[in-house]
Structures are given as structure tokens and as C-alpha cells.
């Protein structure tokens, strides 16, 4: 009797649930745009150079791999130009079912084609990330403004992130048009829970509509923004929103509301990332994945802006590389904005709930915080305490 040949272990023999996890690792991309610097030209391919391997490669292995991984490619779409958006529109027109797979849309340079993409993927969209563009030049600038369709509805949108490109000023027409469109998007999102801006909010007229929309968002519980250098009443209007639970202020751009799904133990309960591709591949990439999927979920569903007391949102657990610079160090209560904000009880309550403030000691009262003398030893003690997770001299949480 001849011995049976040894079994060869291959990926194809694994259950689809495990195979989906493995392919997710292969097709994931950064969750936000990484534009190439103007001085960093892409390498020019030569005849001797090997063909580039992209995250689309697993889709070409077999029909089973293509069927399992294709929805992962479209979980997040990162669009850098109008040409990419136009190509993506052709892909979605040829395969309308892919619209339901999109959970995160990142617009690095909003344009009219991007607005049409937003309208197509709106029903299942969970996160919207928009970068305010610089001023538009040329005779066609007037027709290149990004605007939300009048009948736009975002029934599943949970998180909104607003960035500002270098050299962008809110007084310019292009950023003002995008901010007006974002205000309309907030009003069209009845389940919006978390909003993040990478620039301090102010009373600039360009932000009036967006701030008004945030102040009436029925389910908004978290606002994340850098600490203003000077006092501004911009946050007072948003603080009047009865649904708001916390305002997370940071010394720099706020830390991400979501991180890479496998970068820390609890992250899979919050997000996962993939890359856009398909018949017209390489037109969009990057992103976030949630558990709401037509297939079996990879992890329990959870909001991208969960309760900050959760261990999975510990600042030390966040991915430090992108999209924001984490700032776990507590703010000083002597900052000009915080010193003035303590006179407004509701605003002080929200800041206390969402921001780590050193010198915000016990006995400060419900509407403010108590300052303290800052000596070299005191600063070192607070920094050491914060790094070890202590609470002496530091109250509030890092959102």
C-alpha cells in the first residue's frame, strides 16, 4: 500500500472568514490622503524595471480572491483629483452594487465630480474626510466649486473630518464653497456623532454656516479641534447643542478618531481600512472599514468616536503616524482660551469632559478650573504623571 501524498496547505483551503481577514491585511492602505510632494517625482518605469505590485494584485489571483477582496477595495475611497473622481464614476456606473460597499470617502481636492461620487455613495457612507482646497485659478474656477446636491441625504454618516491644505485661507472662494457644502452635509446627516477639524474654529464668516449646523446636529456628541491661541466665541454656539457631550481640544491637530485596524489590540472594534480599485483600478485608495458589511463582520460594530473612557481609545494606543499628530500631553489651564472659557459654564463643562487640562485641580468648581504655579518641578511632575496614566493634577480625558 503506497503512502498517501502529503497535503499541501494553501490559502484556498482556509474558511472565507479567515481568508477575508488575510486579504484585508494585503489590500489595506493609509486611511487618509498622502499627496506626493511637488519635488518628489514618481520613478519613471523602464523596460528593465519590474512591473509595480499594487494592492490590486490579490484580486488577480483567483475568482474567489476577487469576489472576497473586491468589496474591501471599495471600503474607503481617497480621491486626489477630478480625473480620479471621473474614472471612479465610470466604475460605479458599470457596477452600481459597489456603491453600497463604500464606508469612507476622503476628498483631498474637492471638485464637482467628487460631489457626484458623494451623491452615489451617500446611503452607506459612514465617514467623510474633506480637505479645504487652496484658491482656484483660471477662467474655469467659477465652475469648479464643490457643492452638495440639493437632495443629498447621508443617513449613515457618523464622522466628519475637515482639513485645511497648506496655503489655504478661509477668505478664498474655494474653501468658502466647500465649507458651505459641508454645512449642508451636516444638516443632511441625522446620525452624525463626531466632527474633527485640524484648524482652530473661529468667528470667520466662512465658518458661520458650518458652526450653525453643528449647533443643531441632533446626535453630535464629540467635537475635536485644536486649542485656539486666543479667546473666540465660536465654540459657544456649538456648546449650546444639548446633544454635545465633550469638546476635545489639543495643542496641535487632534489625534485620529480612528486608527489602523491591526495596530493595537482593540482597534478592530472601531475601524479597518482598504483600498479602492476594480475594473478601472488605481483610481482611488486608502481608508477605513467598519463592521457593517454584506458579509460576516470582521469585528463587533462600534462607533468611530466611542466613549473616550474605553481602553481602545487610550492616546498611547493610537497610530502615531497618520492622519493627525497625537497630543496626549495635558493642556495648561493658564492658556488664554481656557482662562476665558471658565466664565461660560456649559463650555467649561464640555471642555472638562473631553480635554486633559493640567492644573485643573479639585475644588475648581463646576464652571471652571483652578490655575497653579508652573515651576520646573511641577511641569516635570505633571508630564511624568500623564505618561504613566496617573490622574494627580490632571482631570478630563483625552478624546
Q: Is 191 inside any structural domain?
A: yes
Q: Which has the higher per-residue pLDDT, 262 or 76?
A: 76
The predicted pLDDT at position 291 comes to 34
Residue 297 lies in a domain: yes
User: For residue 360, is it within any domain?
Assistant: no
Tell me the pLDDT of the chain averaged across its residues: 71
* Residue 246, H or E segment: strand 246-250
Q: Which domain holds residue 128?
A: 18-31+56-199+253-304
- 22 belongs to a structural domain: yes
pLDDT at 35 over 80: no
pLDDT of residue 211: 96
Per the domain annotation, does 106 fall within a domain? yes
* 35 vs 202 pLDDT, higher one: 202
- Has residue 111 got a pLDDT over 50? yes
| Within a domain: 300 | yes
Beta strands in the chain (DSSP E): 76-79, 104-107, 127-132, 159-164, 194-197, 222-226, 246-250, 331-332, 357-358, 394-395
The answer, yes or no, to whether residue 83 has pLDDT greater than 90, is: yes
User: Is residue 308 predicted with pLDDT exceeding 50?
Assistant: no
Taking only the tens place, the pLDDT of each residue in 146-177 is 888 788 899 999 999 999 987 888 988 889 99
37 in any annotated domain: no
Q: What percent of the chain has pLDDT over 90?
A: 34
| pLDDT above 90 (res 87) | yes
Within a domain: 393: no
Buried b (16+ CB within 10 A) or exposed e, 39-48: eeeeeeeeee
Range from 92-101, 211-220, 314-323, 360-369 carrying the lowest mean pLDDT: 314-323
**Higher pLDDT residue, 385 or 201?**
201
Task: Give the total number of structural domains in the chain.
Answer: 1
- Residue 211 CB coordination number (10 Å): 20
What's the pLDDT tens digit per position in 272-297? 333 333 333 333 333 333 333 333 33
The answer to whether 168 touches 132, Cβ cutoff 8 Å, is yes
Amino acid at each position: 500500500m503506497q503512502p498517501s501524498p502529503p497535503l499541501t496547505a494553501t490559502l484556498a483551503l482556509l474558511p472565507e472568514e479567515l481568508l477575508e481577514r488575510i486579504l484585508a491585511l494585503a489590500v489595506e492602505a493609509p486611511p487618509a490622503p498622502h499627496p506626493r510632494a511637488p519635488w518628489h517625482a514618481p520613478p519613471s518605469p523602464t523596460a528593465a524595471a519590474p512591473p509595480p505590485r499594487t494592492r490590486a494584485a490579490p484580486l488577480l489571483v483567483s475568482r474567489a480572491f476577487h469576489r472576497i477582496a473586491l468589496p474591501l477595495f471599495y471600503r474607503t475611497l481617497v480621491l486626489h483629483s477630478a480625473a480620479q473622481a471621473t474614472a471612479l464614476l465610470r466604475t460605479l456606473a458599470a457596477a452600481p452594487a459597489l456603491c453600497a460597499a463604500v464606508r469612507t470617502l476622503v476628498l483631498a481636492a474637492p471638485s464637482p465630480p467628487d460631489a457626484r461620487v458623494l451623491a452615489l455613495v451617500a446611503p452607506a457612507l459612514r465617514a467623510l474626510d474633506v480637505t479645504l482646497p487652496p484658491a482656484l485659478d483660471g477662467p474655469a474656477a467659477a465652475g469648479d466649486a464643490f457643492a452638495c446636491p440639493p437632495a443629498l441625504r447621508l443617513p449613515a454618516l457618523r464622522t466628519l473630518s475637515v482639513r485645511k491644505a497648506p496655503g489655504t485661507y478661509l477668505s478664498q472662494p474655494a474653501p468658502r464653497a466647500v465649507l458651505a457644502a459641508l454645512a449642508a452635509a451636516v444638516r443632511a446627516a441625522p446620525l452624525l456623532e463626531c466632527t474633527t477639524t485640524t484648524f482652530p474654529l473661529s468667528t470667520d464668516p466662512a465658518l458661520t454656516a458650518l458652526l450653525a449646523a453643528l449647533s443643531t446636529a441632533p446626535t453630535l456628541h464629540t467635537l475635536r479641534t485644536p486649542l485656539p491661541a486666543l479667546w473666540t466665541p465660536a465654540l459657544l454656539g456649538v456648546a449650546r447643542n444639548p446633544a454635545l457631550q465633550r469638546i476635545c481640544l489639543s495643542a496641535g491637530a487632534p489625534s485620529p478618531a480612528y486608527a489602523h485596524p491591526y495596530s493595537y489590540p482593540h482597534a478592530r472594534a472601531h475601524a479597518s481600512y482598504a483600498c479602492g480599485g476594480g475594473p478601472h483600478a488605481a483610481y482611488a485608495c486608502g481608508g477605513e472599514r467598519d463592521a457593517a458589511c454584506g458579509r460576516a463582520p470582521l469585528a463587533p460594530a462600534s462607533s468611530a468616536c466611542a466613549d473616550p473612557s474605553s481602553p481602545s481609545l487610550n492616546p498611547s494606543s493610537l497610530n502615531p503616524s497618520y492622519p493627525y499628530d497625537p497630543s496626549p500631553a495635558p493642556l495648561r489651564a493658564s492658556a488664554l482660551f481656557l482662562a476665558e472659557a471658565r466664565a461660560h459654564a456649559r463650555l467649561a463643562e464640555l471642555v472638562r469632559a473631553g480635554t486633559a487640562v493640567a492644573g485643573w485641580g479639585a475644588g475648581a468648581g463646576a464652571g471652571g478650573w483652578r490655575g497653579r504655579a508652573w515651576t520646573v518641578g511641577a511641569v516635570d511632575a505633571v508630564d511624568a504623571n500623564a505618561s504613566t496614566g496617573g490622574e494627580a493634577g490632571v482631570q478630563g480625558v483625552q478624546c
